[in-house]
Structure 1
Amino acid sequence: MSIARPASPGRLPLFALLGFASGLPLVMFSTVLALRLQAAGAALVVIGFFAWVQLLPSAKFLWAPLLDRYDVPGFARCWGRRRGWILLALLGIATALAGLGMSDPRDLRLTAGYAVLLAFWTTTLDIAVDAWRIEQAPTPEAQGPIAAANLWGYRSAMVAAGSGALLLADRGGWGIAYLVVAGGALLPFPLIAMMKGEGRRTVALLTGLLASAAILTVVGLVAGAITWGVVAAGSAGGIGAATNVTPYVLLACMLPFVAMAIALPRIRRAGPTSRLRTSLALGPYVEFFRRYDHVAIVLLAFVSLYRMGDVLALNLSKPMIRSLGYSLTQIGLADSHVAFAATIAGIGAGGWIAARWSPGRGLAMGALFAAIGNLGFVWLAHRPPVEAWLYLATAADQFGNAMAAAVFVVYLSLLVDPRFAGAQYAFLSGFAFLLPRLLAGAGGGMVVAIGYDGFFLLSALLSLAAILFVPFVVRPKPAL
């Protein structure tokens, strides 16, 4: 497959719309699903467990190499490999959203199964879009605008889905809310299908739709079997609403770093023809460790900590606000115009900082404002339920996290080897959320132990801790 030519300014709206399609489902299997489960009477600890669905994006490196190597039948012949996977993923997202909206949230196994499917296809879309974005913009000057456009769409969608779904749910029910969001996620599909390609578009579209139906069915069956097995194993192991899983989660967070330290000497010794370096599944990641050597472990520790506060707050911020006495409509309104304006401003500020400031100053500023956003929830927990206070806390949270996200995306994009753009970016961005999402699954138990204000104070301190790493990761020099 040939490398695509750099993106023209006319492609920026498309990348913004693709970001929009990626951002819509995220809140539907995180914050919105948490509120839906709360409304159905699920215990706070169980709601916290559902944050582990978000671990799937952190494991995207497992199937990202497949997107670098294989085509989607039909779609790829006309529109190419990257856009072919994008079209398939969009169909998967819409299907999973519809299923999640129609399922009964009291059936935790079925709800978890659809949530896992939604997370899988959302992640697949992210892999394909990120790879296409990196190929289209190989320099820092080109990467800044295209990354900002993608993030504007992404964060705007989180705002639109977070607010719109709650307003619709308050008026027409949860099923209607999920179906409307499913329609919104499909918006890029006709635009890509109308783009100029090779061969007959109608034949490619029909062939691609038939192939997609088969792929979606197989993936759905596999995801359902895995989900039911995991839930059954957890129940058999005594994991329930009263289980404190925090110590086990903290232990699990250490395992990836132990494994990397053990594997690094062997990676150093691997020659050019070694299976480690030529393997489709492992090669791109082995090359990352060979490129940065021992600094790779420091880099991964930093990226796993940088977005910690944002991820910990994601699942439980809305249940906390609801518990303070705010209605779904009030939360939805705060998540609409207030959050949208703050998000746009935060991404704009982050994109400007990434382009003009030194990487170290930009990363530190992003972490600082992300921490301020988390402290806003601590402040809100001690205020009466006044909409103005809710708007202020929401604005601080959205601005800080959007700024940090913009700086962070550019930083990660410049760490990857262009030869393995899709796989290595998937690995870095996935690992960045692995440990935070592991801890987020124990968030319900943490809140029970230390309260909402203690939980959000802890998340803010973890965001600030990332600043300590900045001097060591700001300009990592490749070892090879």
Structure 2
Amino acid sequence: MADAALIGDAAPAIRPGLGRMALYVLLGFSAGLPFYMFSTVLALRLTEHGVGLVVIGFFAWVTLLPTFKFLWAPLLDRFDVPGFARFWGKRRGWIMLSQLGIFTSMVAMAFTAADQYLAVTALFAVLLAFWTTTLEVAADAWRIELAPTQDEQGPIVAANLWGYRTAMVAAGSGALLVADRAGWDNAYFLIAAAAFLPFPLLVAMRPEEKSGGGRWVALATGIAASFVVLLIVAVLTAAVGWVVLDLAAGAGISSKTNVTPVVLGTCLLPFIIMAAALPKIRSAPPTVWYRQSAAIGPYVDIFWRYSFGALAILAFVSLYRMGDVLALTLSKPMVKSLGYTLTQIGFADGAVALLSSMAGVALGGWLTTRWPQAWTLTLGAVLAAFGNFGFIWLAHQAPGNTALYIATAADQFGNGIAGAVFVVYLSMLVNPRYPGAQYAFLSGFAFLLPRLLAGASGSMQGVIGYDGFFLLSGVLSLAAILFLPIIGRMKPRAPDDETI
């Protein structure tokens, strides 16, 4: 697309300072709400309707979509949304389309809240995940264009994260409180309306500099075009889903199937492929095409710089957040099975979870500036593991708010510290030449294997029970510590050609 389109979006459609920060609080809030509605909240909803844990585990695979956002992210750079883009520009056009996608998907989940047809529930959950991820891609691109310097980025990033964490409370707590009193349909209607808040604000903004046509014509055209796009995406998603379900049925996979061995084998494939390619990558000269490629060069560079140590790094990052991801899948169904109400769970996921998580993040960030990296990573892994073990302790306590709050606080505090120190570690791994691409790869890979395994969590629980499941998830987080003596001594190779 022409550079003018990008320049138009980068123009000050809103004034720097509080205006931009307020907008990105709303955008973070809008993106954070749907994530819980197709993950943790949906798991509780399915539990309430008697869906088996194996099937609930399968639904965890919906959270894989954000990991693969690089597959369609280039489309947001190449194409405009008709109507919206002509008046508001490329980035805002995609944000507005995504907001419509989030709203319609969540409303559809509200109308099908009885979960009588799980394939339909899965379809709308996937659509909600797709449009939520698309919103994040568009918002991140616009943020970089609005604030090109590091000094400008800091406040907007902070505002965006604050909005996202506030949304975690609203979805994880507010939706459950509403569902307990007024039903799941009203909970999804309410969150859909809240997630749609940035849309009228974007409509009210002034156009990009070279806009043609009127605001209301552009809005009507954009909405009409958006619903065509939404319909096409829904049909394609349904078709792909039908093929996947048909293949699964043909392979004999059902709610009674133990998919753990298959998933574990799938998790090993990336390591096998990378190990096979490493000898060739290690000896590759700087002029070879796959080191110079704009598409795969940044990813090849990771393996060229760290050689076989890259496998240890990837194994470490895959294990480090494993406990957090696995616990997210079954912690709420387990708590519900202990006799806690949605209201009790909602209060625990409110102020208790938010304050504990933010305290953990703050402490983790502070420690990274004062402790050696290996020490902070070790502390994060230990506290995250003890958060998982806390659910085992909770399962053997008489149901009560105090026990629930202690377990929730321990889990969120440990994950807050682990998350903060982990982000710093990943950031230090990247080559300054390719910071965006390499960080996206490393952070995506860190959650790819845990989320794959999370889809088998129901099968695992059926074999080893809740105690065994949370013990295993905590031990897997602790296992990451075994790699620290190896990765702590790793130094990347010096560049052999600065012109790559």
TM-score tier, shorter chain, comes to 0.7 to 0.9
**Higher mean C-alpha displacement, 129-138 vs 359-368:** 129-138
Is contact 2:291–2:298 with CA below 8 Å preserved after alignment? no
Superposed counterparts of 1:17-416, under 5 Å: 17-76=26-85, 81-103=90-112, 104-131=114-141, 147-195=157-205, 197-200=208-211, 202=215, 205-267=219-281, 269=284, 274=289, 277-278=292-293, 280=295, 282=296, 284-290=298-304, 292-354=306-368, 359-413=373-427, 415-416=429-430
Q: Residue 290 of structure 2 contacts residue 300 of structure 2 at CA under 8 Å; is this kept in 1?
A: no
Aligned counterparts of 1:454 and 1:172: Cα–Cα separation in 2: 35
Q: Is the 8 A contact 1:50 1:441 kept in 2?
A: yes
Show CA shifts across 1:298-356 (max 9, x none): 33222222211111011110110011111111111211222222233233334444566
Amino acid at match of 1:257: F
C-alpha separation in 2, matches of 1:238 and 1:189:
44
Residue 29 of structure 2 contacts residue 165 of structure 2 at CA under 8 Å; is this kept in 1? yes
**Per-residue displacement from partner, 1:146-183 (whole Å, max 9, x unpaired)?**
55543333233122101111111112111111111112
| C-alpha deviation, 1:445, in angstroms | 1.6
TM-score with structure 1 length normalisation?
0.87
AA paired with 2:58? F
Is this contact kept in 1: 2:83–2:225, CA < 8 A? Answer: yes
- Which is greater in Rg? 2
| CA RMSD, 1 decimal | 3.3
Letter of the structure 2 residue corresponding to residue 173 of structure 1: G
8 Å CA contact 1:277, 1:283 repeated in 2: yes
In structure 1, the partner of 2:498 is: none
- 1:366 to 1:302, Cα distance in 2 relative to 1, 3 A: same
The structure with higher relative contact order (CA 8 Å, sep 6+) is: 1
Cα gap change, 1:353 to 1:273, in 2 (>3 Å): same
2:492 alignment counterpart: 477
Q: Which amino acid aligns with 1:41?
A: G
Residues of 1 paired with 2:228 and 2:431: CA distance? 34
1:428 aligns with 2:442: yes
Residue pair 2:322, 2:477 contacting (<8 A) in 1 also: yes
Q: CA deviation at 1:428?
A: 2.7
Name the SS of the counterpart of 1:105 in structure 2. Answer: coil
Cα 1:42–1:432 change in 2 (3 A) is same
C-alpha change, 1:204 and 1:345, in structure 2 (3 Å) is farther
| Conserved? CA contact 1:97–1:178, under 8 Å | yes
Shift of 1:74: 4.5
- 2:475 partner amino acid: L
With 139-148 and 81-90 compared, the bigger mean Cα shift is at 139-148
What percent identity do the matched residue pairs reach? Answer: 60
Structure 1 letter corresponding to 2:256: A
Residue 451 to residue 140, structure 1, CA distance change in 2 (3 Å): farther
Alpha-carbon spacing, 1:154–1:355, altered in 2? closer, same or farther (3 Å): farther
Q: Unmatched 5+ residue regions in structure 2?
A: 496-500
CA 1:43–1:468: 2 relative to 1, 3 Å: same
Aligned length: 479
Other structure's SS at 1:234 match: helix
State which drifts further: 390-399 or 293-302: 293-302
After TM superposition, give the deviation of residue 384 of structure 1 in Å: 0.8
Where 1:59 maps in the other structure, the secondary structure is: helix
